[in-house]
Amino acid sequence: MSDEPRLALIVSDSAKAQEGAEALRDAHDWVSPEEADVFVVLGGDGFLLHVLHEMLDRDRIKPVYGMNLGTVGFLMNGPHDHIPIIHRVMEAHSVPVTPLRMYAVSNDGREYKYYAINEVSLLRETRQTAKLEVRINGRVRMEELVGDGVLVATPVGSTAYNLSADGPILPLGAPMLALTPLSPFRPRRWKGAILPESAEVEFHVNESEKRPVAAVADQKEVRDVKSVRIRATYEKELTLLFDPGFTLEERIFAEQFQV
């Protein structure tokens, strides 16, 4: 960034984040979120995702510099140090993040639209397995996937729920999506697929009344779905800012070589 950006400070309600904010409030001339060029977010990954979702919902998208004062902090920079915050923001490099848009239709015919930054997942609601038809770009690729469910993850989300489900870690910035089954019963040996980011993924729930399924876009849940369609939303691209040498790419590499 060549010109000095106007910064807004957005702080989680947690005691740790509130305490950390005290050291920053007097260290810079902050502006309101409406006036800001960049949001500086204090908290953990969950709070950062909350802020990003609010930007998507309000169509007020601005670069975000996260500072870890939570628990995991995978998407965040290190805590405050002696370097002025404006210098850290101006020296940071940007990482584009393309969110997904979920279009869900419930058994009663209602339609829902939500964004997902990490993943969209379909999960069985009862003890009975889910039965899902999988379509890619309008073509049936699997007539019936039987198991606990399935998810579609972005590169950013590939190290979250997707990784726990034994899905592949995707390189940051790669135009790919991970399609990962959750405890598949049939086909038993199917490990999922890596799809181009441009692919439109669609699931139809077989026996949806008898075997109810919920669809979840990050934290937004729709129960008793009949069908779900997912696609990347390029017009809503987000920007995360990271300190030099403190990259998300390095964290993704580290996740793949943990023993």
Q: How many CB atoms lie within 10 A of CB 171?
A: 12
Query: Is 106 annotated as belonging to a binding site?
Result: no
Query: Is 17 annotated as belonging to a binding site?
Result: no
Tell me if 29 sits within 8 A of 5, measured CB to CB: no
Query: Is 53 annotated as belonging to a binding site?
Result: no
Query: Is 159 annotated as belonging to a binding site?
Result: yes
Residues sharing a CB contact under 8 Å with residue 257, sequence separation 6 or more, in sequence order: none
d(CA 77, CA 87): 14
45 is catalytic: yes
Query: Is 160 annotated as belonging to a binding site?
Result: yes
Specify the DSSP element, H or E, that contains 214. Answer: strand 213-217
Query: Is 46 annotated as belonging to a binding site?
Result: yes
Query: Is 238 annotated as belonging to a binding site?
Result: no
d(CA 249, CA 151): 22
Query: Is 234 annotated as belonging to a binding site?
Result: no
Which of 3, 45, 59, 108 is labelled catalytic? 45
- Which among 150, 116, 146, 144 has a CA at the least distance from the CA of 218? 116
Query: Is 118 annotated as belonging to a binding site?
Result: yes
Query: Is 45 annotated as belonging to a binding site?
Result: yes
> Residue 136's beta-bridge partner residues?
139, 201
Tell me if 94 sits within 8 A of 241, measured CB to CB: yes
Residues making up the annotated binding site are: 45-46, 50, 118-119, 148, 156, 159-164
Residues making up the annotated binding site for NAD(+) are: 45-46, 50, 118-119, 148, 156, 159-164
- For the annotated catalytic residues, the residue numbers are 45
